[in-house]
Amino acid sequence: VRESEGGPVQEPVELPDVRLTHPDRVYWEDVGVTKQGLAEYYVQVWPRMESFVVNRPLALVRCPDGAAGQCFFQKHAWKGQSKDIILAKDPEDDEPVIAIKDLKGLIGLVQGGTLEIHPWGANLKNLEKPDWINMDLDPGPGVEWPEVIEAAIEVRERLAACGLKSFVKTSGGKGLHVVAPLKPKAPWEDVKAFAKGIADSMAEDDSSRYVATVSKAKRKGKILIDYLRNGRGATAVAPYSTRSRDGAPVSMPLAWDELSPDIGPAYFTVENAVQRLAVDDPWKDFWKAAVALPKPKKK
Ligand code: ATP
Ligand code: MN
Ligand code: MN
């Protein structure tokens, strides 16, 4: 039982029946979050996280010595990995991809020192047809947070004009992600072209604020509308995933009207995320809102 500062004493969190070695190992030194604390966090957010991480190829950031230690970006199996992590065939990969199908799998990832979970935007049953678009907003140096919020709202409006409903989350790093659910009908190529179309049109319409190409030189004071999360094999951090950065931040789903200068990209952390479970799930209609990718607009 942990005591949060000034707050109520939390109920003990029951972990699924999965082996967790060295539960007291500290993963985020600055805030004292341990491996056990990470597992408990995931047990609590699991009902809201599940549909975004199960049965998808995953890339992981594994940091066996914690966020301050050496981390590995990893898409394939490793020696001694939990039996609750499953392997799946990607026809374009010689090695199987990794996935989870339940909470045990997620705790299995924690057992392996996973501090970040980055799913594909496609399900294992439909690997060639993405079921979401992720527009990743990356502020360059000198960009103020309210401008990032404006960019997200701009993306939302452009998606809405094409008939797509979108949802916003903090990245847990520096930016925001605007995510639109799709019925998995169009192939990667089309979804990526569509996302590029949104990014290009924003850069064309306001080149003083937005860029759509990943050239650092151009980014000073500008926001990169990074559409490249939408290619086959590309990944983006999952809703509710922790980040291997100071403070144990998480990528937190928000309601659109929650966007505010007070809630920065790493505002939500392992420590304050759980209290949000008392408020309505801002992404509860995510999958209900899925539509097929619209046909590209003629210029
Ligand atoms: P931020 O808000 O700080 O931009 P982010 O999660 O959007 O946070 P980006 O740097 O914009 O981070 O995107 C990096 C993406 O690239 C990740 O989502 C990840 O899925 C992918 N990626 C590919 N290779 C790597 C790697 N070696 N290390 C980390 N991420 C990688
Ligand atoms: Mn980003
Ligand atoms: Mn990016």
Q: Containing domain of residue 83, as a range?
A: 26-120+236-247
Question: Looking at the structure, do residues 141 and 228 belong to the same domain, yes or no?
Answer: yes
Residue 146 lies inside a defined structural domain of this protein: yes
Q: How many CB atoms sit inside 10 A of residue 225's CB?
A: 28
Whole-number pLDDT of residue 1:
41
Q: Report which ligand 1 atom has the smallest distance to the Cα of 265.
A: 2
pLDDT digits (tens, 9 = 90+) for 145-171: 999 999 999 999 999 999 999 999 999
- Give the dihedral sign, CA 84/88/93/95: positive
Torsion of CA 23, 25, 27, 30, to 10 degrees: 120
The pTM of this model reads 0.95
The reply to whether 40 and 114 lie within a common domain is yes
Residues 45, 103, single domain; the answer is yes
**Domain count of the chain?**
2
Nearest atom in ligand 1 to 235's CA:
20
pLDDT at 295: 81
Note the pLDDT of residue 148: 98
Shared domain for 162 and 226, answered yes or no, is yes
* Position with higher pLDDT, 296 vs 35: 35
Same domain, 161 and 218: yes
Q: What is the CB < 6 Å shell around ligand 1?
A: 59, 73, 118, 136, 138, 171, 173-175, 226, 235-237, 265
240 and 115 in one domain? yes
Q: Are residues 104 and 243 in the same domain?
A: yes
